[in-house]
């Protein structure tokens, strides 16, 4: 399962959401505005509070940086056959 911690106005978060949609990959969305419970959960997952934050529970991967996340998604989910 993929989980994405993000916030709407972040262009880097939008980039990752677009990649997930392009690859037709399902994910759980965790909007993480300042002061939200999701932001507090994100703080527990990584030393830095940075968004977007992707969690791949199937592979036990937690990552930040939109370019790295998009590359990861292409490598692991880009070759899915419908």
Helix axes 11-22, 66-77, angle to 10 degrees: 10
* pTM of the complete model: 0.91
**For the chain, percent of residues with pLDDT exceeding 90:** 88
Residue 71: per-residue pLDDT: 98
Three-state DSSP at 34 gives: coil
Three-state DSSP at 54 gives: strand
Select 2-77's CATH number: 3.40.190.10, 3.40.50.620, 3.40.30.10, 3.40.309.10: 3.40.30.10
Closest CA to 56 of 40, 77, 41, 37: 77
């Amino acid at each position: 399962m993929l989980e994405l911690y993000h916030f709407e106005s972040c262009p880097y978060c939008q980039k990752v959401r677009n990649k997930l949609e392009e690859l037709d990959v399902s994910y759980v969305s965790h909007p993480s505005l300042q002061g939200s419970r999701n932001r507090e959960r994100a703080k527990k997952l990584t030393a830095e509070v940075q968004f977007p934050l992707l969690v791949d529970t199937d592979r036990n991967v937690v990552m930040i940086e939109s370019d790295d996340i998009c590359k990861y998604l292409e490598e692991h989910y880009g070759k899915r056959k419908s």
